[in-house]
Amino acid sequence: MVSIVAALGGSLLRPEIENKHLWLDDLISIIRDRVAMGDRLGLVIGGGAPAREGIDLVRPLINDDYHLDKIGIAATRLNATIIREAISEAGISVSGIIPSSVNEAVQLLEEKPVVVMGGTTPGHTTDAVAIRFAIAASAKKCIIATNVDRVYDEDPRLNPDTKAHDHLNHEELQKIVGPAEHKKAGQSSVVDPIGVFEASKAKLELNILDGRISNRLREAIEGSEFDGTVISSEISI
C-alpha cells in the first residue's frame, strides 16, 4: 500500500476551462485505478479564482489577513466538496467528511482509501496543508498540480526566456520561491514557501506539474517519469 498526497490547484476547477468535465472524468479514472491497486490518496483542493475574487471584493473593507484567509479557506472547502461528491457518485470509497485539520485527515485516511480536503486555518495555504498531510501520513511524496508546467526561475508569463527546471533540491527551490513566510491573502507562488521549508526538513519529495494535463498527474501518482519538476533532498544535476 502506498500513500500519496496531491495538492490540486483551484485553477484546475475554473468553469472557463474548456473540457472541464473531461478533466474531472480523468481525475476520477486515476483515483479509481489507484484505489484498485490498494493505494491511499489524500487530495487537498485549492481555492482558485473564487478565493481570489472573494478576497478582492472585500479587501477595501477588511484589512486583516486573518479574516481574508477565512474567505479563501471557505472557497477551498467548496471546491473540495465538488471533488468529493464527484468521487462518491462514481462509486469510489471516499471519506464522507471534509476534514478541517491535518490530524483529522490522517485519521480518515486510515479508514478510507481517499480523503478530500481544503484549507484548514488562516495563514496556511493548501500547498502547505498538503505537504503537512503527506508528512503526517508518511506518504511517499506530495504532488503539487497547478496551472504551470514546472518550476521556473521567474514567472514565464512575465519573462519568456526564464530558465526552466526538471530537477531541483529543496534548498534551490526555496531560493526561487522565497523565504518561509506567509504571503498576503489571495497571493500565490508556484509552491508555498512555508511548505517548501517543511518538505525540506522532512526530506519529502515534491512533484510539480501542470495538473490540467491529466496524464502528467497519472504518471506522477504511478511513480513513472512525468513532464514537470522533481524536488528531492539530493543535489540536483
Contact 34, 41 (CB under 8 A): yes
Distance of alpha carbon 171 from alpha carbon 175, whole angstroms: 6
Q: What is the pLDDT of residue 18?
A: 66
DSSP 10: G
Nearby residues of 118 by Cβ (< 8 Å), 6 or more positions away? 44, 45, 46, 47, 73, 75, 76, 77, 78, 79, 80, 98, 126
Among the ranges 11-25, 29-43, 152-166, 222-236, which has the highest mean pLDDT value? 29-43
Q: Which of 108, 88, 89 is nearest to 97 (CA)?
A: 108
Distance of alpha carbon 217 from alpha carbon 199, whole angstroms: 20
Q: Strand runs (DSSP E) across 21-133, as ranges?
A: 40-45, 114-117
The average pLDDT across 126-140 equals 97
Distance of alpha carbon 135 from alpha carbon 65, whole angstroms: 27
Architecture of domain 3-232: 3-Layer(aba) Sandwich (3.40)
Among the ranges 81-90, 120-129, 152-161, which has the highest mean pLDDT value? 81-90
Average confidence score pLDDT of the chain: 92
Distance of alpha carbon 19 from alpha carbon 41, whole angstroms: 24
- Does the pLDDT value for residue 236 go beyond 80? no
Could you read off the pLDDT of 32-69 as tens digits, one per residue?
Answer: 999 999 999 999 999 988 898 899 999 999 988 999 99
Could you read off the pLDDT of 141-156 as tens digits, one per residue?
Answer: 999 999 899 999 998 8
Would you list the domain boundaries of the chain? 3-232
Is 190 or 26 the better-scoring residue by pLDDT? 26
